[in-house]
Amino acid sequence: MANSNLPRRIIKETQRLLSEPAPGISASPSEDNMRYFNVMILGPSQSPYEGGVFKLELFLPEEYPMAAPKVRFLTKIYHPNIDKLGRICLDILKDKWSPALQIRTVLLSIQALLSAPNPDDPLSDNIARHWKTNEAEAVETAKEWTRLYATGA
Amino acid sequence: MDSEDDMHDANDLESVDDDFYSGDTGMGSDDGDAHYDFGDNESDDSDDITSRQQQNYAILSEADIRQHQGEDISRVSTVLSIPRYAACILLRHYNWSISRVHDEWFADEEHVRKVVGLLEKPVEMPNARELTCGICFENYPRDCMNSASCGHPFCWACWRGYISTSISDGPGCLMLRCPDPSCSAAVGQNIVELLATDEDKEKYSHYLLRSYVEDNRKIKWCPAPGCEFAVEYVIGSGNYDICCSCSYNFCWNCTEEAHRPVDCVTVAKWILKNSAESENMNWILANSKPCPKCKRPIEKNQGCMHITCTPPCKFEFCWLCLGPWSDHGERTGGFYACNRYEAAKQEGAYDESERRREMAKNSLERYTHYYERWATNQSSRQKALADLHSMQNEKLEKLSDRQSQPESQLKFIIEAWLQIVECRRVLKWTYAYGYYLPEHEHAKRQFFEYLQGEAESGLERLHQCAEKELQVYLDAESPMKDFNDFRTKLAGLTSVTRNYFEHLVQALETGLEDVGSSNSQATCSKSSSSKILGNKSKSGKIKPAGASSAAGAPSRSMDDGNLWSCDHCTFANPKATNTCHMCEHHR
């Protein structure tokens, strides 16, 4: 089994994620692959994503924690730093990764990104332009998408 | 802005400093000494050859680089009373400029410490028997853990992994910080040396060495492929030509191959021109016409004017007027002479595109002329370089045997070959110079071409002597009596040619400014260049620049005698008259 020689760090992180979850975030490892996590993040209050439940997948590569985990949104989301494939533009997932960061810190950062979109460092040009030219309208679209794709209905 | 100026000043000061130091190493190697060395120097030939030029730079081997780097680190470490690893981090941050480190540090030590991540008071790791590693979350005894100066503890295995990941990511490892994301404490070479694998230590130290060259504005790698020397240059010392110990010559400023007398901008233009598609375009324009229907370029290499484009187009048209062939017949004056074209040409309808084609053709021919000569000198130079090496490696020993001369006494031959190589290089670049010399400056062009021609023939003489005439002595079974005469001849030719080329370079670098542009002066400059020729044969000293300056005022020089020279036609008239006998021009 691939899971048999799972590093102690991953086991510990998993245990802590399950026993003391961060508010608004749930992450549980897949049954057949302990390096693959199903993640749900609640849309932060006072953001266009409020009321939505966003599904993500998170994978810990072989080099983890020396290399960053791979995370992507599965739920469609209208956000200047997230593209239509769900890929996320976040520095700590790239060059600012540090092995002292954890799954928990990564997910908290993503949650914070939902509260504070950054159209100056965009992944999706169209959405970012929308955000910068007409923020109110962009926020409306984001709310619309949240209702359409991120509510359990 | 002010601070930047200060910085430059500081750097300049520093370079003066460095000049002083490098002066030590370059001592006893001027031009002058090279001559005295003639008889009695034994071993260090190669050193003398590389340092023939005036030294405004020093060639550094890897060991030299490490030594310089070490000295710089020690200096900063001593002055600021900080550990060597900290001095190293500081120097790297300020691009290895000692003066900048000093300036910044003494201006605002706290700020500098913050920027580079050097804590003033190191923090010890928490004082417990066991600590938890911040990466693998395992507990370890305190003495199996380590931290940077910030006290964040990590186990050795995680440190090793952290350092290794960063090193394999590239030179950024030189700016490594504590793994804790909220901490900016620098991780220096001391920790790498303590914890990393041997392989990683080596890579790190290699990056550190490269940084000392690549981030340093006074040092550059020699751009020759495979060469591992670096060059330390005295900033602001003028002459950009560098001769590396690997015998490659390059320009400090643009790191292209050395290109005096041509300036860096022209060289860049010329190189771009040689590589760019633009020449292909010119060729297509000059030698082809577009098919009037499908617009593909068609080259007419021979045959009649009836052109049929290749399938699928298959359009039939007249090459002369580009009209459909179906319109051609008796009416247009027959198939082989398109009257429509002749008539239209007379009316001027075809002029524009014809003219463009004609111009492109001329410009292409002009370019080809210069390019061919540039490239030929380039390959001659390569050949001469190969000959030089074969001379150094095999022939010199043979010659020393045959003529019973110690090798140290045969240095003049190497000198000659080095001169040939150098001259080929200069000559090559004079063609790029010629290409960009404005067409309308007739006097300059004429003078330039004359100088260039002289340079060619002077170099040929030297080349001939070093190649053909030397062969006799190589083939000889026993020492020949006239070998000393040969030595005198070749050494003489070498020095004459060197002088000529040095002055040529100077004259071209000043843009032949002494040459006026009017036609009358063009003839004067011609006569002055024959003076150069005369000088050369007598004393071996040539001064094209000086001679041509005299050319600017030929009429005045005659005033000493009883004659005055007409400004208009140069006729020498008796002083008594005020009107020229020849052209009736007034004095």
Task: Report which of residues A111 and B305 the model is more confident about.
Answer: A111
Closest approach of chain B CAs to the CA of A113, in angstroms? 18
Assigned token pair, B332: 């247009």
Comparing alpha-carbon positions, the chain B residue that sits nearest to A92 is B181
B43 residue type, one letter:
S
Cα-Cα end-to-end distance for chain A: 38
Query: Which has the minimum average pLDDT: B92-101, B299-308, B328-337?
Result: B328-337
Give the span between the Cα atoms of B301 and B102, in whole angstroms: 72
Give the pLDDT confidence score for residue B481 in this predicted structure: 82
Residue B187 CB burial class (10 angstroms; 0-12, 13-18, ≥19)? buried
pTM of the model: 0.62
Least confident of A14-18, B247-251, B338-342, B432-436: B338-342
3-class secondary-structure state, position B270? helix
Q: What is the mean pLDDT of chain A?
A: 90
pLDDT at B212 over 90: yes
Query: A66: which chain B residues are within 8 Å (Cβ-Cβ)?
Result: 161-162, 164-165
Domains belonging to chain B, first-starting first, are 119-207 (3.30.40.10), 266-340+357-513 (1.20.120.1750)
- Residue B58, amino acid: A
Respond yes or no: is residue B304 known to be catalytic.
yes
Residues from chain B contacting residue A101 (CB–CB below 8 Å) = 181
Indicate yes or no: CB of B137 within 8 angstroms of CB of A100. no
What is the maximum alpha-carbon separation in chain A? 52
Least confidently predicted of A53-67, A132-146, B260-274:
B260-274
**CB atoms B136 and A96 under 8 Å:** no
Q: Which of B82-91, B96-105, B293-302, B558-567 comes out lowest in average pLDDT?
A: B558-567
Q: Which one of B161, B165, B180 has the shortest CB-CB distance to A100?
A: B180
Under an 8 A CB cutoff, do A65 and B135 touch? yes
- Say whether A99 and B135 touch across the interface (CB within 8 A): yes
Which of the residue ranges B10-19, B58-67, B178-187, B562-571 would you say has the lowest mean pLDDT? B10-19
What average pLDDT score do residues A112-130 get? 85
Whether the predicted pLDDT of B65 surpasses 50: yes
Which residue in A93, A96, A98, A103 has the most chain B C-beta atoms within 10 A of its own C-beta, making it the best mutation to test that interface?
A: A98
Residue B241, beta-bridge partner list:
B251
Residue spans per domain, chain A: 8-150
Question: Cβ B161–A99 below 8 Å, yes or no?
Answer: yes
Long-range contacts of B191-200 (CB under 8 A, 24+ apart): B191/B85, B191/B146, B191/B148, B191/B159, B191/B163, B192/B163, B194/B146, B195/B146, B195/B156, B195/B159, B195/B160, B195/B163, B196/B160, B196/B163, B196/B164, B196/B167, B197/B160, B197/B164, B200/B160, B200/B163, B200/B164, B200/B167
Task: List the one residue out of B421, B465, B430, B468 whose CA is nearest residue B448.
Answer: B430
Partner residues linked to B132 by β-bridges: B139
The answer to whether the Cβ–Cβ distance between B180 and A98 falls below 8 Å is: yes
What amino acid occupies position B258? A
Which one from B136, B294, B304, B583 is the annotated catalytic residue?
B304
Q: What residues of A are in contact with residue B138 (Cβ under 8 Å)?
A: 8-9
Question: Residue A63 and residue B162: Cβ atoms within 8 Å?
Answer: no
Rounded to the nearest angstrom, the minimum Cα separation between A99 and chain B is: 6
Confidence of residue B337 (pLDDT cuts 50, 70, 90): low
Please enumerate in sequence order all residues whose Cβ is within 8 A of that of A35, keeping only pairs 6 or more positions apart, or say none.
A2, A3, A6, A10, A29, A59, A60, A61, A64
* Residue B351: predicted pLDDT: 62
Q: From CA B335, how far away is CA B584, in angstroms rounded?
A: 60
Determine the Cα–Cα distance for residues A131 and A15; give it in Å rounded to an integer. 39
Most confident of B317-331, B345-359, B386-400, B504-518: B386-400
Q: Which two tokens stand for residue B146?
A: 């380590």
| Among A89-93, B35-39, B188-192, B497-501, the least confident range | B35-39
Sort out which chain A residues have CB atoms less than 8 A from B163's CB and list them: none
- Locate all alpha helices (DSSP H) within chain A, ordered by sequence: 8-19, 103-115, 125-133, 135-149
Question: Predicted confidence band at B282 (pLDDT cuts at 50, 70, 90)?
Answer: low
Confidence tier at B541 by pLDDT (50, 70, 90): very low
Residue B440: pLDDT band (50, 70, 90) is confident
Active-site annotation holder among A6, A53, A89, A101: A89
Identity of the residue in B136, B154, B181 whose CB atom sits nearest the CB atom of A9: B136
Tokens representing B288 are 């082809």
Q: Which residues of A touch B (CB under 8 A)?
A: 7-9, 12-13, 63, 65-67, 92, 96, 98-101, 105
Has residue B48 got a pLDDT over 50?
no
Closest CA to A10 of A32, A31, A36, A49: A36
Size of interface A-B (CB pairs under 8 A): 38
Chain B: residue whose CA lies nearest to A68: B165
For residue B166, give how far its alpha carbon lies from the nearest alpha carbon of chain A (Å). 9
Residue B103 corresponds to which tokens in the numbers above?
């300036």
- Rounded average pLDDT over B522-550: 38
3-state secondary structure of B510: coil
Lowest mean pLDDT, pick from A57-71, B155-169, B322-336? B322-336
pLDDT of B341 > 70? The answer is no
Using the predicted structure, report yes or no on whether residue A36 has a pLDDT greater than 60.
yes
Share of chain B above pLDDT 90, in %: 30
Q: Give contacts of A99 with chain B, Cβ < 8 Å.
A: 135, 158, 161-162, 165, 179
What is the enclosing helix (H) or strand (E) of B550? Answer: helix B544-551
Q: Mind telling me how many Å the CA of A66 is from chain B's nearest CA?
A: 6
The DSSP H or E segment spanning B557 is helix B554-557
Largest CA distance in chain B: 115
How is residue B14 written in tokens? Answer: 């520093």
Mutating which of A66, A90, A93 best tests the B interface, going by the most B Cβ atoms within 10 A? A66
pLDDT value at B461 more than 80: yes
Amino acid at B404: S
Mean pLDDT of chain B: 77
Q: Which residue in the set A8, A92, A101 is minimally distant from B137, CB to CB?
A: A8
Minimum Cα–Cα distance from A6: chain B residue = B136
Share of chain B above pLDDT 70, in %: 72
pLDDT for B335: 52
Cβ-Cβ contacts under 8 Å, B181 against chain A: 92, 96, 98, 100-101, 105
CATH assignment of A8-150? 3.10.110.10
Higher pLDDT, B290 or B558: B290
* pLDDT tier for residue B303 given thresholds of 50, 70 and 90: low
Helix (H) or strand (E) holding B139: strand B139-141
Task: Give the DSSP H/E element, type plus range, for residue B563.
Answer: strand B563-565
Q: Which residues contact B441 (CB under 8 A, 6 or more apart)?
A: B517
Asked if residues A150 and A77 have their Cβ atoms less than 8 Å apart, the reply is: yes
Nearest CA in chain A to B162: A66
Nearest to A101 among B158, B165, B181 (CB): B181
Q: Is there a contact between A99 and B162 if contact means CB atoms under 8 Å apart?
A: yes
Residue B18 confidence (pLDDT): 42
What's the pLDDT at B140?
93
For residue range B345-378, list pLDDT tens digits in order.
666 656 666 667 777 667 777 777 788 888 888 8
Chain B positions touching A5 (Cβ under 8 A) are: none
CA distances from A92 to A23, A102, A105 (A): 20, 10, 10
Least Cα separation, residue B180 to chain A (angstroms): 5
Of B230, B242, B240, B235, nearest in space to B16 by CA:
B235
Q: Are the beta carbons of B128 and B32 closer than 8 angstroms?
A: no
Closest CA to B251 of B266, B239, B234: B239
Residues 6+ away with beta carbon under 8 Å from A54: A40, A41, A42, A43, A73, A75, A77, A114, A150
CB contact at 8 A, B466 and B490: yes
CA distances from B164 to B99, B161, B199, B225, B538 (A): 33, 5, 9, 29, 70
